[in-house]
Amino acid sequence: MTEGGRREKHQGPGPSAESAPAPPARQRPFFTTGKKLAAAFGAALLAALAGWLVTAGGSKVVNVISDQPVVGASASYDTGLLNDGWAAATPASINPRSVPPSVQNCSPVHEWFVRHGAADKHLSPIRLHLWGTRPGTVTIIGVRAHVLSRTPPVVGSEVACPGAAESSAQQVILNLDRDEPKALELHADGTAGDPYFKAHIVTLEKGEPADFTIAAITARNTVRWRLEVDAESGNNKETVIVPGNFTTTPSQPEGSYGQRWVWRWDLNPQHLERAGS
């Protein structure tokens, strides 16, 4: 994690997206003709654009989803946290022999189930990796979840890979049940604090990285979501869409699941076993 301007070296590719269009000019009544009509329309258009592009202090601020972002971004499941244990839910029953023998240990087993339609149960442990892509200083001013869909909880089958101990390594929490899930501080007791980027200054130069460990949680619906990052360079602000998406579903009472399975990583060979057997 990079805080307070502390930086490390890393480089990599970045995402692309479409630029957001300028807001339309405010329409005015067409009561004039000829040159008067053109002058009135032109004045309205310039006034609208000036109000959008210029702040009270006179600086130009453009909010775009850029095809050449000021920061590169990638997001993936946090392997270390997955190896500390995880739980997921699938919409259908599980065939214990469906997991290939080559898939071993908690993190690869989780990856296999997610590829086959499983949703993280209650919490998705995510690592967000950012790096500067342009000369000059870039300040990260926000990280949030963009909700793609909300559906009922998944209750087909439960599968878990228990770890030796619960990890508290996450630094940022996203409450997916909120209308605008923004990054909040994550306290040691698991509770959410203030907006993360009000208390932490993260700056990047070209090629310099910042890593965030994120706990995305839900207690209401199955949420399919992606990450977005707000960055500021000079007077320009950009929103960067992070490639990929994740699915998180709330925990349900044990009796809600048709099957419950545990991945026995402590046995040789490793395999799925019915919970409680």
Q: What is the pLDDT of residues 208-235, one digit of tens each?
A: 999 999 999 999 999 999 999 999 998 8
User: Residue 154: pLDDT above 60?
Assistant: yes
- Inter-residue contact 223 to 247 (CB < 8 Å): yes
What gap in Å lies between CA 260 and CA 203, rounded to an integer? Answer: 45
Considering only CA atoms, give the Rg of the chain.
Answer: 24
pTM of the model: 0.74
Q: What is the mean pLDDT of residues 80-86?
A: 85
Output 92 or 43, whichever has higher pLDDT.
Answer: 92
The average confidence (pLDDT) of the chain is 79
User: Residue 45: pLDDT above 80?
Assistant: no
Q: Which DSSP string corresponds to 250-263? A: ----GGG-SEEEEE
User: Residue 244: pLDDT above 60?
Assistant: yes
Q: Which pLDDT value is given to residue 67?
A: 63
User: Residue 18: pLDDT above 50?
Assistant: no
Q: What is the mean pLDDT of residues 53-67?
A: 40
Q: What is the mean pLDDT of residues 100-116?
A: 95
Lookup: tokens for 92: 């259908």
Q: Which DSSP string corresponds to 216-273? A: EE-SSSEEEEEEEEEEEETTEEEEEEPS--EEEE----GGG-SEEEEEETTSSS-EEE
Q: Which pLDDT value is given to residue 225?
A: 98
Long-range contacts of range 49-53, CB-CB < 8 Å, 24 or more positions apart?
49/22, 49/25, 52/22, 52/23
What gap in Å lies between CA 6 and CA 201, rounded to an integer? Answer: 9
Output 85 or 43, whichever has higher pLDDT.
Answer: 85
Give the start-to-end residue ranges of the domains of the chain: 21-60, 66-274
Q: Which pLDDT value is given to residue 169?
A: 53
- Inter-residue contact 273 to 259 (CB < 8 Å): no
pLDDT classification of 170: cutoffs 50, 70, 90: low
